[in-house]
Structure 1
């Protein structure tokens, strides 16, 4: 599946649905970069190319068919984490302190 397909698979509703229902099983290592990028993608100052990378990665995260199924114990989210980490590295210059703060606030609510 191409990155265009992952980007077209993305929607806010499906992202929040998976994020909220799978946060504990995905863990902070998956959720933190996903949330940082989500908030960056919502920022009108984030360039279009970075949003395309972010939405592609988030589309992969929410897609039910992964390289490694999310229900697989231990390894289930490892492919998601790898995709999210690569996208985060590519778009890091566009992740602002405010995005990091919002992500940490969301994680604190989910993991407290």
Structure 2
């Protein structure tokens, strides 16, 4: 995926856009992660990014960037539709990894711990 397209996707957007993305991410994150679990090698890091994005202590711009990436992840139809076996989540992974790389210093040990705990609790579902 081209870096200029990734940058466009990762624009934090307005407060209204961030709120819409947050609602969509909260609603669909776990079911999408479950679908991508066999393909997505960085499930714990993606889940830590999810907790960072929902943390009100995280700076607004960082939250906006992560919410944009996670909203792209939970959307079933994007550049490469998620239902295409083996390829569907590759563009999502590129977008999420770019977002995490840009804001890595804001993903704290507490976010990672929350991710590990949630994944352990949901291990039968994922």
TM-score for the superposition, normalised by structure 2: 0.72
Q: 2:105 aligns with which of 80, 87, 93?
A: 93
| Structure 1 unmatched runs, 5+ | none
CA-based RMSD of the aligned residues comes to: 2.4
Distance across 1 between alignment mates of 2:65 and 2:97:
11
In structure 2, the partner of 1:68 is 80
Alignment of 1:38-53 (within 5 A): 38-53=50-65
Aligned residues: 110
Q: Who is 1:10 aligned against?
A: 21
Runs of 4+ in 1 over 6 A off after TM superposition: none
Equivalent residue, structure 1, for 2:36 = 26
Unaligned 5+ segments in structure 2 are: 1-7
Larger helix share, 1 or 2 = 1
Q: Following the alignment from structure 1 to structure 2, what is the Cα–Cα distance between the partners of residues 65 and 38? A: 20
